[in-house]
Every structure is written in structure tokens, then in C-alpha cells.
């Protein structure tokens, strides 16, 4: 089947790129038709196979923006070809976009005949199809760059139905109203739970369990995030040093050697992701930090926080601690842009851990296609030899749609379910505690633990727990706890 647009350009030019989610095929149809993940078009719409600029214009018109492909294909088009095309059709918005990008990616100028284009400015990204950033106008081609990031590091977020729905729900506003509706003591205890939950679940995602001291340090880091306005290398190095326990892998700067992720299998079989080389990683970190530090009023803070978090883990600027630091940055960006009040925190890691397969799938959507462009060879006791055979555009221009969907949905679930569930738990805890405390004289610390045990075990005080506390607590307290639990639950059900 004959291809067209981006898929054709990838195959025709043998470039390094992730295949688009929707491919274009030439078929015996009379108009455009969508069939699953394929766009069928009639032969009359499609340029000749060797017409690269024709397929670029076709892709821009019918498929949208794919900078990963365009960054590699446009420099292959001779200046004379693109000059003749724009001289023949100086008002074509798709050719103007192509010329604007050609000059950036090739580093050369088009010697066009028409000196001044007077058409209205056209946005590079269609805001009805993509989440867009603030516009930067290019007067030469009357094109407005409105991507998320810059032309050297630009992230794509498509306006899918799930993303549109989640953005329209304004979950951050709902979170603010939720906390304002709580008594201050309940709000404080709920937030304390949120900090500890975020800490333990962020470690659990990586199959680790922090010591009490490391957990306390991470909680304190999360609390201090609101006092930091800007990201820079020294700040991130300091956070990395607090997150890793092995002094030998604590950083003094962004990494200067190649790293990779492994699933534990030997040699190249175990490599699951290879991040960009150190030089490119540093360039991308500069771009990512600039994006995080900017304050675009038209970009939802949750989208920006998601992009920064995911982008950081893909760049992997340190030898260790990148995963936990990436999740820390989600909260840091929200705080630094004023999207959350004071010490409020949304413990998204509880949802990411609960739906770990979806989280890992969102990460693999980027990591697996990119890693295919690395040649990985075993070097016996010297480890692995890693050679990148792709193009930097793989790392510079990536689609964050699936990851943003995941993070937005995780935020919504935490607010709608987990935070509310914890408030209900605290109210039940207080009521059971009050009932027992009024009737029996039990040491506060022991009663606190027993009430929690009772709630966590659905109203049961096991034989092991009874024996554990038999020399501290009168036996009748255990039965009274179970009775209080059922009474409280019965009252809630009736209410």
C-alpha cells in the first residue's frame, strides 16, 4: 500500500523517528476517510513519491505538526526547490510554515523573490488540535511559534477527548475548595497523610522502601518546594543529593557519562532505555528548566508540571535518583507557579503506584522507540558499549499526550477518591477513639495504634494484636473497639 505524508517521509528518507499514531495510505476512495489508525486518501491528493516538499506540505495540512520528522527531512530539501515553491505560492500557510522551519533546521536563509509577506500571521500549531504555549511572532514568514518549549526542544500534547475533559473540570480548583471545606485540624492531618503517602509510594514505584530518616528528608523537601521559584543545576543537584543514600553516586553536576536503565537481564538483553548522551542531555536540561521557569498564562499548570516531570526522567541528567526527582518536580512546578496554596500537596504517586502498568506504559511509549536507535554491545567485564545511531530530534521533539493524560487523571483520582477517603477515615478514627477514651483509661499511643488496626482490619482486632497488647490494655477494650467500629459504621450507613 502506497504511503503519504509523515510515514512516507520517514521511509523515503530513512530517518530516525517514531512512527505517527495515524498513518496515511493511498486508497481507492473519492475523499479522505478514517479507518482505525489509518487515514485513507485518494491518489489525486498525494504528491509524487520523490516530491519531499509536497509531502511536507501534505503532512502539515492533513496530519498536523511533527517536528521530529520535519527537523530531519526539511534540511534534505534543496534551497532552490523550496525557494521556487514559495515564490509561486507566497501566501500558502503550509509553505510558509515549511520555510520558517527549513531556515531554523538548516541554519540557512531562503533567497525568496517576494520580500514582504502581508498575509495574517498563522500559528505553527493549531490550538484546536494541540495544547499550545505563548506565541512568538516571526515577521519574515508571518508565522507564530506557539509550541510548548522552543524550536530546540518542543513537546507535543494533542487535545484528546480525555485531556479536554480533564482540563475542563479544573481539578486544581476543586482541590482548593475541598481543603477549604475541611476543619483546620482535619485539613492538617489529611495533608500530613498526603506527604507521607507521596513519599512512600514514590519509592514503592521503584520497588524500594526508604529508611525513616530518608523518608523524613523527602517530606521536608516536598514542604520546602514552595519556597523555590526557579530550577537550576545547583538546586537539582542539591535535591538529588538528598534523595540518594549512596554517597558514591551523589552528583556534583549533571552527568558527564552515559547511563542506561536495565531490567536486570544480562548484557544488552536487559537494557530498557538509553537516555541522551551527556552533551545533549545538558542542552535539553537547559531547555527543560527554561520551560519550567517560564510562566505561560495560557498553559494549564498541570500540563506544564506533567511535561517537566516526564521530560526530566527521559533526559535522566543524573546517574541515580532520576525517577524520584522527576515526581518531586511535578509538585515543585505546581507550587512555583502558584497552582497550589501554601503547603497543599496532591499525592499522585499513590495512583501511579496503584496503576503502575499504565504509568510504565506511558514511559515506554517514549523509551522503547528511542532505545531502538542505540547499538548496544557487551564488552565482557567492561560492561556495555552504547552507540547512538539515531538523530537528536528523537529527544528534542516528543509527544507527551499519553503521559499528560495519565498525570491529569491521577490528579483527579487523588482528589475525588483518595483524599476524600482519608478524610472519612480520620472522622471514623476520631469517633471510635472518642468512644473508647470516654469509657476506658488507655495510654494514648496504644489507643492510637489499636484504633488504626481496627479500622484497617474492618473492625477486627486479631488474636495476635490482642496478645501484643494484653499486658498494656484491659481485655474488654478489644471487644469495645470492635463494637465501636460497627456502631460508627452503622451510623454512617444510616446517615
Sequence ranges of the domains in the chain: 3-117, 171-419, 440-494
- The helix, strand and coil proportions of the chain, stated in percent and rounded to the nearest 5, come to 55, 10, 35
CATH of segment(s) 171-419: 1.10.3290.10
Helix (H) or strand (E) holding 148: strand 148-150
R_g over Cα of the chain: 28
> pLDDT truncated to tens, each residue of the chain (495 aa)?
799 999 999 999 999 999 998 899 999 898 999 998 899 999 999 999 999 999 999 999 999 999 999 999 999 999 999 999 999 999 999 999 999 999 999 999 999 998 788 899 999 999 999 999 989 999 999 999 999 999 999 999 999 999 999 999 999 999 999 999 999 999 999 999 999 999 999 999 988 888 888 889 889 888 887 666 689 999 999 999 988 888 888 999 999 999 999 988 877 888 999 999 999 999 999 999 999 998 767 899 999 999 999 999 999 999 999 999 999 999 999 988 888 886 889 999 999 999 989 999 999 999 999 999 999 988 766 678 999 999 999 999 999 999 999 999 999 999 999 999 999 999 999 999 999 999 999 999 999 999 999 999 999 999 999 999 999 999 999 999 999 999 999 876 554
Query: Cell numbers 502539515 correspond to what residue?
Result: 60
Asked if residue 413 lies in contact with residue 87, where contact means CB atoms within 8 angstroms, the answer is: no
CA distance 234 to 237: 5
Q: Specify the long-range contacts of residues 85-93, CB closer than 8 Å, at least 24 apart.
A: 85/53, 86/110, 86/112, 86/114, 87/112, 87/113, 87/114, 90/114, 90/117, 91/117, 91/119, 92/57, 93/119, 93/122
Q: What are the residue ranges of helices labelled H in 225-300?
A: 233-243, 278-293
Asked if residue 423 lies in contact with residue 414, where contact means CB atoms within 8 angstroms, the answer is: no
CA distance 368 to 266: 18
Asked if residue 316 lies in contact with residue 281, where contact means CB atoms within 8 angstroms, the answer is: yes
> What is the distance, to the nearest Å, from the Cα of residue 231 to the centroid of all Cα atoms in its chain?
17
Beta bridge partners of residue 378, listed in sequence order: 384
Q: Three cell numbers at 89?
A: 505560492
Amino acid at each position: 500500500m502506497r504511503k503519504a505524508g509523515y510515514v512516507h517521509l520517514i521511509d523515503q528518507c530513512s530517518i530516525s523517528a517514531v512512527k505517527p499514531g495515524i498513518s496515511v495510505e493511498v486508497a481507492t476512495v473519492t475523499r479522505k476517510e478514517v479507518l482505525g489508525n489509518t487515514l485513507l486518501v485518494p491518489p489525486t491528493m498525494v504528491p509524487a513519491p520523490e516530491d519531499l516538499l509536497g509531502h511536507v506540505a501534505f503532512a502539515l495540512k492533513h496530519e498536523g505538526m511533527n517536528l521530529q520528522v520535519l527537523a530531519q527531512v526539511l534540511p534534505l530539501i534543496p534551497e532552490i526547490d523550496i525557494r521556487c515553491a514559495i515564490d509561486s505560492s507566497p501566501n500558502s500557510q503550509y509553505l510558509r510554515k515549511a520555510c520558517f522551519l527549513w531556515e531554523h533546521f538548516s541554519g540557512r536563509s531562503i533567497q525568496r523573490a517576494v520580500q514582504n509577506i502581508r498575509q495574517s500571521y498563522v500559528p505553527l500549531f493549531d490550538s484546536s488540535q494541540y495544547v499550545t504555549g505563548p506565541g512568538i511572532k516571526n515577521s519574515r514568514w508571518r508565522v507564530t511559534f506557539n509550541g510548548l518549549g522552543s524550536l530546540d526542544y518542543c513537546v507535543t500534547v494533542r487535545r484528546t477527548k480525555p485531556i479536554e475533559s480533564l482540563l475542563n473540570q479544573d481539578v486544581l480548583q476543586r482541590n482548593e475548595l475541598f481543603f477549604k471545606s475541611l476543619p483546620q485540624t482535619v485539613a492538617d492531618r489529611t495533608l500530613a497523610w498526603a506527604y507521607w503517602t507521596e513519599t512512600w509510594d514514590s519509592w514503592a514505584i521503584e520497588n524500594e522502601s526508604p529508611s525513616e530518616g530518608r523518608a523524613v528528608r523527602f517530606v521536608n523537601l516536598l514542604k520546602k518546594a514552595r519556597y523555590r521559584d526557579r530550577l537550576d543545576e545547583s538546586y537539582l543537584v542539591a535535591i538529588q543529593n538528598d534523595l540518594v543514600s549512596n554517597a558514591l553516586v551523589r552528583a556534583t553536576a549533571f552527568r558527564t557519562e552515559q547511563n542506561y536503565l536495565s531490567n536486570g537481564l544480562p548484557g544488552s538483553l536487559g537494557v530498557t532505555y538509553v537516555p541522551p548522551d551527556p552533551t545533549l542531555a545538558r542542552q535539553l536540561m537547559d531547555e527543560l528548566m527554561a520551560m519550567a521557569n517560564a510562566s505561560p498564562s495560557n498553559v494549564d499548570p498541570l500540563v506544564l508540571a506533567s511535561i517537566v516531570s516526564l521530560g526530566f526522567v527521559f533526559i535522566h541528567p543524573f546517574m541515580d535518583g532520576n525517577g524520584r526527582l522527576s515526581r518531586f518536580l511535578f509538585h515543585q512546578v505546581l507550587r512555583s507557579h502558584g497552582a497550589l496554596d501554601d503547603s497543599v500537596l496532591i499525592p499522585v504517586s499513590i495512583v501511579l503506584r496503584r496503576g503502575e502498568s499504565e504509568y510504565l506504559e506511558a514511559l515506554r511509549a517514549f523509551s522503547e522507540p528511542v532505545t531502538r536507535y542505540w547499538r548496544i554491545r557487551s564488552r565482557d567485564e567492561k560492561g556495555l558499549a552504547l552507540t547512538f545511531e539515531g538523530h537528536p530530534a528523537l529527544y528534542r521533539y516528543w509527544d507527551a499526550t499519553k503521559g499528560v493524560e495519565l498525570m491529569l487523571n491521577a490528579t483527579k483520582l487523588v482528589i475525588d477518591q483518595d483524599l476524600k477517603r482519608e478524610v472519612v477515615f480520620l472522622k471514623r478514627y476520631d469517633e471510635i477513639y472518642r468512644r473508647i477514651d470516654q469509657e476506658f483509661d488507655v495510654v494514648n499511643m496504644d489507643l492510637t495504634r489499636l484504633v488504626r488496626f481496627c479500622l484497617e482490619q474492618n473492625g477486627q482486632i486479631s488474636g495476635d494484636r490482642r496478645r501484643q497488647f494484653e499486658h498494656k490494655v484491659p481485655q474488654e477494650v478489644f471487644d469495645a473497639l470492635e463494637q465501636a467500629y460497627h456502631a460508627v459504621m452503622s451510623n454512617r450507613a444510616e446517615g
